[in-house]
Structure 1
Amino acid sequence: MADIQGTYDDLFTAVPGTLARFLDEGDAGGSVAVFVDGQPVVDVWGGHTDADRSRPWQRDTLVNVWSVTKTMTALCALVLADRGALDPDAPVARYWPEFAAAGKKGVLVRHVLAHTAGLPDWDPPLDISELYDWATATSRLAAQAPEWEPGTAAGYHSLTQGFLVGELVRRVTGRTPGTFFAEEVAGPLGADFHMGLPEEHDARVAPVLPPHGRDEDYAARPPGAGTAPHTAALRVRDGNSTAWRRAGTPAAGGFGNARSVALVQSALACGGSVGATRLLSRAGCDRAREEQFEGEDRVLGMTTRWGLGYGLFGSSCGWGGWGGSLVMIEPESRSVVAYVTNQMREPAEDTRGLELVMAAQDGIEALRT
């Protein structure tokens, strides 16, 4: 069995055992954390950061978590809403006047957070290099007409949501979403999560590895995206580039480990505070789970439930990222399960995150009794 490092409560032995099984099945590396009441009951890691299995995964290894980043950006918006600086019921154009163009005066902040704004992609297409130009990416969205009447349907805003919510954060605070997150969320919590990775952390990054049998041109394509998406699909090689690490794309460009993901999202699980640090009121936390949409997602091609920035799953909320990373938040048990990995699998075959959530459940239930 693969060697697993770290610590865990005896009630949670199934979690490191499950991670070890993934590594035995051929995964390169990864980390898992389970937090209850804002404290780690599981903090483990194992495997390697490279395809050659020559560099062991370390306690402080970082990896691109892809769309798990959306939960971090959403948390920033919820913090601002809780402070009264950002009204979910207000038109986006109140904060971003240029956004009112092309019939978007009625697009609300909550539409942007819930993937119902009608702007799932750039049309005409945006080049990958333009994702690194904030002004270009946001001004193009401001000028674009919605694909459907905002608020009436959902279509996963895979990359655009980060720029839409991120520009709201920038307009309200005068800071980039990565800077706001670092100063107002990660900094106070002491979380090793970054949207816009400084150069000094590059050596800690585990490059993303494509599924076995694929190369670095392996690309992200949602199942409902068809054969001609507006914007070129991101490839593994793009995610491993220096430009991507520096850009901190707030929909998919966050770097962290399972510990940092679980620590940040514990604020949502624990009524707004972790230890002595309070980010939100309890009412501010509850906003995340206010259902905005339930039904067929036009992009993902499956039934989804969206809250304010988070996917809803029963009483839980959270989201996953391309390649397998996942965070699941359960306010009723004040728990968070987070998994990050550098080893991609084909999406249709990848159940690793959910397996780890299930592996943690017995321990979480035992702590409640």
Structure 2
Amino acid sequence: MPRGFAEPGYGAVADAFADAAAASPRGGAALTIMVDGRTVVDLQAGFADAATHRPWTRDTPTVVFSCSKGLLAALVSRLVMDGLLDLDRPVASYWPEFAQAGKGGIPVRWLLTHQAGLSYPVENVSKADVVAWTPVADKLAAQRPLWEPGTGWAYHALTMGWLIGEVVRRVTGRSVGEAFRDHLCDPIGVSASLGAPFGSRVAVADMAAIPGFSRDSLAGVVGAEDIARSFTLGGAFPIELVGPGVGFNDPDLQKAEIAAGGVIATAADLASLWSSAILPTAGSTPIDPAVLSDMTARRTFGGPVFGIAGSPTPRWGTGFMIDSPERPLLSPSSFGHDGAGGQLAFADSDNGIGFGFVTNDLRGDGDTRSLDILTALRATL
């Protein structure tokens, strides 16, 4: 049975969450929804660690995978508002070493729109490289693009974090994890983190891998090696992303600043962060409407340079995932990002929503847990 509360009128949302939790027998889940700055749904169910049956509580943090990308875009929006960053200036104007191998003209924006041609490093990356940060950034700065930048897109599953994160480091003088804390978390008092230390003393949820997703599942897919390398970086991560004590279950990697996939947060953290993007909150102002309009404008069209042919692809603005038939959010005013295995976090300007759904029972094709919750929420509103 779910724990927590749902305000009167949100019973259908609570029921949808209960169904989502029942569909997560290998772990647990949590859901927090804020409306106009007030928490109206705050529910948890199942186990943060299936092996020990440690229950999922409101304070249970988990790795949120690519939900991190939406938060990275929110960080960038703050730097644009502060005049520290111009999305249409060349990356090399902030990070001179990036101009190597013909990349001098690539604008900052393309690092966030999956158009930079750097979806993976051609030179293998090790776990030690990931933890150290600089070796990965240096490899990408030296690398020739995999395709002509700006002419197409392919998902920068992990490299986006080093690409835009290094720019953040250059313009702020702080690591991307420190900037994440300074500009997003500390002003509103949430404990989410990107890299150590995580503010909560509660152990991070242990994640169960997506059933059936492996190198074998990519057999026969055009661009299979490209897809695999975009997730593994050639060896730093398992293709499954997690395993017993490995990948994103590895404490060493949880302490690293993996900016495109390694944010650690509770569902309540995510809802608060997204609520603060659209509403005045404690020590934070919302994202400037002109900046938000620019960054939520659709930037990707057509199929990817490499990917699974015929599979639906979400739409991206500048770093933000936006509403689409392929990946519906709450309304056309929604922006945020989903995460591997079924997680979802976003803001909705029209409805004043901050939304966070997390789970450690990772699922792949056919997973409708977050969509079913959204359907119930849409009907409720």
Counterpart residue number, 1:277 = 284
Q: CA deviation at 1:99?
A: 0.3
> CA 1:77/1:308 → structure 2, altered by over 3 Å: closer, same or farther?
same
Alpha-carbon shift at residue 202 of structure 1 (Å): 5.8
Structure 2 counterpart of 1:318? 336
Who is 2:356 aligned against? Answer: 338
Contact kept, 8 Å, 1:29 with 1:48, in 2: the verdict is yes
1:164-207 Cα shifts (integer Å, max 9, x gaps): 11111100000011111112210111122110132774643111
What amino acid sits opposite 1:336 in the alignment? Answer: G
Alignment partners' CA distance in 1, 2:55 and 2:204: 12
Deviation at 1:342, TM superposition (A): 1.0
- Mean CA deviation greater in 318-327 or 77-86: 318-327
Looking at structure 1, the residues matched to 136 and 335 of structure 2 have their Cα atoms a distance apart, in angstroms, of 28
- Tell me the CA shift for residue 221 of structure 1: 7.5
* 1:246 Cα deviation from its structure 2 partner: 0.7
Which letter maps to 2:349? Answer: P
**For residues 306 and 199 of structure 1, what CA distance do their matches in structure 2 show?**
29
Deviation at 1:213, TM superposition (A): 8.2
Confirm or deny: 8 A CA contact 1:320 1:326 kept in the other structure: yes
| Percent identity of paired positions between Structure 1 and Structure 2 | 32
Deviations 1:190-243 (A, max 9, x none): 1221101327746431111224689xx999989875046332353312111111
Partners of 1:185 and 1:279 within 8 A in 2: no
> What does 1:278-293 correspond to in 2, within 5 Å?
278-293=285-300
* Alpha-carbon shift at residue 71 of structure 1 (Å): 1.2
Q: 1:189 to 1:142 in 2, by over 3 A?
A: same
2:328 aligned residue: none
- Please, what is the CA RMSD of the aligned residues? 2.4
Using the TM superposition, give the Cα deviation of residue 282 of structure 1 relative to its aligned residue in structure 2, in angstroms: 2.1
Matched ranges for 1:8-23 at <5 A: 8-23=6-21
- Between the two proteins, the alignment pairs up a number of residues equal to 357
> Per-residue CA shift, 1:124-150, capped at 9, x if unaligned?
222343221211000000001111221
Q: Do structure 1's residue 45 and structure 2's residue 44 form an aligned pair?
A: yes
Q: Which moved more, 1:150-159 or 1:31-40?
A: 31-40
TM-score, normalization by structure 2: 0.87
SS in 2 for 1:294: coil
Q: In structure 1, the residue corresponding to 2:337 is in which secondary structure?
A: strand
Runs of 4+ in 1 over 3 A off after TM superposition: 199-203, 211-214, 217-225, 227-230, 232-235, 299-304
Partner of 1:264: 273
Q: Which residue of structure 2 aligns with residue 255 of structure 1? A: 264
| Shift in Å, 1:317 | 2.0
Contact kept? 1:196, 1:247, Cα under 8 Å: yes
Note closer, same or farther for the CA distance 1:202–1:154 as it changes in structure 2 (3 Å cut). Answer: farther
Q: Is the 8 A contact 2:187 2:283 kept in 1?
A: no
1:189/1:277 contact within 8 Å kept: yes
Task: Look up the equivalent residue of 2:322 and give its one-letter code.
Answer: L
* SS of 1:329 mapped into structure 2: strand
CA distance, structure 1, for counterparts of residue 36 and residue 217 of structure 2 = 35
Deviations 1:254-290 (A, max 9, x none): 11111111111123334xx335521532222223212
Runs of 5+ unmatched residues, structure 1 = none
Matches within 5 A, 1:1-369: 3-25=1-23, 26-52=25-51, 54-198=53-197, 201=200, 203-211=202-210, 225-227=223-225, 229-230=228-229, 231-232=234-235, 233-234=237-238, 235-236=241-242, 237-270=246-279, 273-275=280-282, 277-301=284-308, 302-314=312-324, 315=332, 316-345=334-363, 347-363=364-380, 365=381
* Greater shift in the superposed pair: 102-111 or 324-333: 324-333
User: Structure 1 length as normaliser, TM-score?
Assistant: 0.89
Cα distance 1:28–1:249, how it changes in 2: closer, same or farther (>3 A)? same
Deviations 1:309-366 (A, max 9, x none): 1112141222111121111332122213221011112x11222122222221122x2x
Separation in 2, partners of 1:158, 1:291 = 19
